[in-house]
Amino acid sequence: MTNDPNKTGHNPVPEVGTKPSAKPAPKRFAMSFVAPVGAFIALAIVGQLLEASTNQYVQLVLLFMCANIIFATSLNLVNGFTGQFSIGHAGFMALGAYTSAYLSTAVVQNPSFFDFIWFAIAGGLVAAAAGYVVGLPSLRLRGDYLAIVTLGFGEIIRVILLNTPAIGGARGLFGIPRPKEVVLGDFVFTNFYMNYLLAIFWVILTLVVLWRMVHSVHGRKFLSVREDEIAAQSMGINTTQVKVRVFVISSFFAGIAGAVFAHAAQGLTPATFGFTKSVDAIIMVVLGGMGSLTGSVMAAAVVTLLPEFVLRPLTDITGIDLRMVLYSLALILFMILRPSGILGTRELPDLWRKNGK
Amino acid sequence: MIRSFFSRATLAGLVLIASFGCTRNHDQEILIGHLGAMTGSEATFGLNTQKGIQMAVEEWNAKGGIKGKKISVKSLDNQGKPEEAAATASRLINQDHVLAIIGDNTSSRALAAGPIAQQNKIPLISSTATAPKLTEVGNYIFRICFIDPFQGQVMAKFSRETLKLKRVAIFRDLKSDFSVGIADIFKAKFKEMGGEIAADAGYQGGDIDFKAQLTQIKAAKPDGLFIPGFYTEVGLIARQARGLGLNIPLLGTDSWDSTKLSEIGGASINGSYFSNHYTVESTDPMVQEFVAKYKAKYNSVPDGVAVMGYDAANILFSAIERTQDLKPDQIRDELAKTKDFKAVTGKITIDEKRNAVKPAVVVKVDGTSNRYVTTVSP
């Protein structure tokens, strides 16, 4: 195993930025609830600050960032932790996005805040079902073959969406609602804030579920499949079953990412979910480190924020639009200087621990 | 390595924060936003629109700008993605504080940007998005091109008045709402003008064999055939119609506009007519002047997108000039009042639904080039 020996198998700290606890075992269980809830409250407060201090454009980009975090971490489960190479992840995102968007526009009139959670779950389930259908036959293949099958699947989804008039076909689906603003006395929660709450809810839920999973006995199975399939099989692990499970779970969260994306963008066209969207996800996974959830979070943040907040102002100053050139160049340089990604296979809390020692 | 990475991240963060603080001085200039696809598979749309807009800006600034203030355009690339169109529109409005936005060329991206402009009450003008739904987004959304159904009226008028046809058959693509919509409008207008519809047949986009329907159409003895379809099927239909001895003029819409049309249709398609936004062959001196200026500046022939960008910019600037104190809501009101504006693509009037009422040109297919025939006014 290439894992960091410092990494403990049952790390109870699922959140980015929270300090690891040295608390005895009984408190660990409580910790596993306290940390995510604490993170949610902290991010909710940050959201109020963002609401007050930034404009609509920054807020929109932040919502895209949340969708990308879920998208990248879900792909990391397949590509990073289980060592399979899927390059059609955008297809699952598209299913989640369109399902959720369709439910909120055509099926339910005036959806409430909690309806949006069900829409996202429905999107995730449709994506997961598709993941099962694709995964079952194709995950018996390895390496390049799986890559090509997933690529083909991604394209099939896109073409089906393109030819379905009920969801707008090539012209796209527009007018997707956001959660409405909530007024409590003098205090107004704007519709960005409600959308932001939903987005961070899904980000935290995704991270908690994936973190708990990869640090459980199932996670060890994923890693064993990645490291050596034959050895894993000889130890009695049903590798196809493990891979299909991983694929279905990953697809579910890609669907959730799609739902978050759809309600942030408020408009979808099949063109959004082309091959380049899948490549975006792979970039985020590789950049963050294959097999590092917190790495994917950081990479998703970098990949979303860099072109918007660093390269666009740079274009303003220099007067020439080299945005996509510089972005590509930054990726190339990063991969040459740090081929294992931002964090490699480590997680963010591992770094704090090492510094503390 | 990690530590140095964090120091770099901090630096990047500082740049980010600094970038929020950047604002432009609005007292000296009038800032207009443009959003379009400048990278990706539709890059020519955004880039050529930008060239057209830039030409208009330079001409206005050479005349002294608007009310003594120079015009400046900020163009943002949306990579041909609707979510980027929404983000860039939001950026232009909230961060750069533009007075108005020109873009995007395609309906799907304009529809993504539209609601944001409407919400913030900033006028948005699309130069070439033809989907009728776009201007229904709200009263701040305009377009300066005709909408899809208008071409049905144009071709009905052209075939009745110019070609003096009496009995026309319609052959529509049942899979396309664009085609079906235009066919219905054509039918109504042609009848209203005293013509007769000999037959109304349909096919499915992607079909290859049209002989059954064409035989039926031939039996009805029409003197013209209107096909509001896309160039691939139209090319095949033309070949098969000539093969069956149906030697009547074929009529179509801007969906025919492709070099592929004559590749597929061969000699059979020659002599057919279709409606379009603009042609470089127009005899109008304004068009010739524009083409010459554009060639001198960019060393290429302007396509429809470039000329529409130029027109959009001119309409917007003259609306801004008519306002009292350069406020977006006044610009909106003035844009809505645009009447008989002399643009390169013809006289443009904005109707109460914020769509352009303007002439279309009819061209005749002649091999790979299209010859200008006439201009049809609404």
Please, how many CA atoms are within 13 Å of residue A247, restricted to the half-sphere of its CB? 28
**Which of A174, A191, A192, A314 best tests the B interface by mutation, with the highest count of B CBs <10 A?**
A174
Q: CB-CB: which of B2, B12, B86 is closest to A351?
A: B2
> Is A351 in contact with B22 (Cβ distance < 8 A)?
no
Token digits for B108? 């799907």
> Is B112 in contact with A267 (Cβ distance < 8 A)?
yes
Contact B82, A265 (CB under 8 A): yes
Shortest Cα–Cα distance, B83 to chain A (Å)? 5
Shortest Cα–Cα distance, A319 to chain B (Å)? 10
Q: Residue B27 has what pLDDT?
A: 64
Domain count, chain A: 1
Q: Residue A126 has what pLDDT?
A: 96
Q: Does A305 touch chain B (CB under 8 A)?
A: yes
Residue A106 inside a domain? The answer is yes
> Is A64 in contact with B83 (Cβ distance < 8 A)?
yes
Token digits for A179? 């959660």
**Positions of chain B with pLDDT under 70:** 1-27
Contact B41, B80 (CB under 8 A): yes
With CA atoms as reference, the chain B residue closest to A267 would be B112
Residue A300 inside a domain? The answer is no
Q: Residue A357 has what pLDDT?
A: 44
Q: Residue B276 has what pLDDT?
A: 85
Q: Does B87 touch chain A (CB under 8 A)?
A: yes
Supply the DSSP symbol for B35.
Answer: E
Residue A7 inside a domain? The answer is no
Shortest Cα–Cα distance, A308 to chain B (Å)? 9
Contacts 24+ apart (CB under 8 A), B12-20: B12/A306, B12/A310, B15/A310, B15/A313, B16/A305, B16/A309, B16/A310, B18/A313, B19/A309, B19/A310, B19/A312, B19/A313, B20/A54, B20/A58, B20/A309
Q: Does A17 touch chain B (CB under 8 A)?
A: no
Residue A172 inside a domain? The answer is yes
Shortest Cα–Cα distance, A269 to chain B (Å)? 7
Residue A289 inside a domain? The answer is no
Q: Give the CATH number for residue A56.
A: 1.10.3470
pLDDT digits (tens, 9 = 90+) for B94-145: 988 999 999 888 888 898 899 999 999 999 999 888 888 889 889 999 999 8
Q: Give the residue among A98, A111, A140 at the shortest CA–CA distance from A254.
A: A98
Residue A314 inside a domain? The answer is no
Q: Residue A121 has what pLDDT?
A: 96
Q: Write down the ipTM of this complex.
A: 0.78
Residue A110 inside a domain? The answer is yes
Q: How far is CA A347 from CA A343, A350, B201, B288, in A?
A: 7, 5, 65, 65
Q: Does A354 touch chain B (CB under 8 A)?
A: no
Q: Does B29 touch chain A (CB under 8 A)?
A: no
Q: CB-CB: which of B22, B82, B94 is closest to A269?
A: B82
> Is A267 in contact with B86 (Cβ distance < 8 A)?
yes
The domain of A122 spans 25-274
Q: CB-CB: which of B16, B75, B80 is closest to A310?
A: B16
pLDDT tens digits, chain A, 357 residues: what are they?
444 444 444 444 444 444 444 445 556 666 777 888 888 999 988 888 888 888 889 999 999 999 999 999 999 999 999 988 889 999 999 999 999 999 999 888 888 888 999 999 999 999 999 999 988 888 887 667 888 888 998 889 888 988 887 887 777 888 888 888 888 877 788 888 999 999 999 999 999 999 999 989 989 999 999 999 899 999 999 998 999 999 999 999 999 999 999 999 988 988 889 888 999 999 999 999 998 999 999 999 999 998 888 888 887 777 777 777 888 888 889 889 888 888 888 888 887 776 544
> Is B95 in contact with A55 (Cβ distance < 8 A)?
yes
Residues of chain B contacting A90 with CB distance shorter than 8 Å? none
In angstroms, how far is CA B289 from the centroid of its own chain? 21
Q: Residue A10 has what pLDDT?
A: 45
Structural domains in chain B, CATH included, are: 12-146+286-359 (3.40.50.2300), 150-276 (3.40.50.2300)
Q: Residue A180 has what pLDDT?
A: 85
Shortest Cα–Cα distance, B29 to chain A (Å)? 16
Q: CB-CB: which of A57, A267, A305 is closest to B91?
A: A57
Which ranges in chain A belong to alpha helices (H)?
25-53, 56-76, 89-102, 113-138, 143-162, 191-214, 217-227, 229-234, 239-265, 275-288, 293-305, 312-318, 323-337, 348-356
Strands A182-184 and A187-189: antiparallel
How many inter-chain contacts (A to B, CB under 8 Å) are there?
Answer: 96
Q: Give the residue among B9, B36, B29 at the shortest CA–CA distance from B110.
A: B36
> Is A57 in contact with B107 (Cβ distance < 8 A)?
no
Shortest Cα–Cα distance, B163 to chain A (Å)? 35
Token digits for B178? 């664009």
DSSP assignment of B150-190: HHHHHHHHIIIIIS--SEEEEEEETT-HHHHHHHHHHHHHH
Shortest Cα–Cα distance, A169 to chain B (Å)? 11
Q: Does A145 touch chain B (CB under 8 A)?
A: no
Contact B370, B276 (CB under 8 A): yes
Q: Does A338 touch chain B (CB under 8 A)?
A: yes
Residue A349 inside a domain? The answer is no
Q: Does B202 touch chain A (CB under 8 A)?
A: no
pLDDT digits (tens, 9 = 90+) for A5-41: 444 444 444 444 444 444 455 566 667 778 888 889 9
Q: Which residue in the block uniquely carries the two structure tokens 């493990």?
A: A242
Contact B309, B51 (CB under 8 A): yes
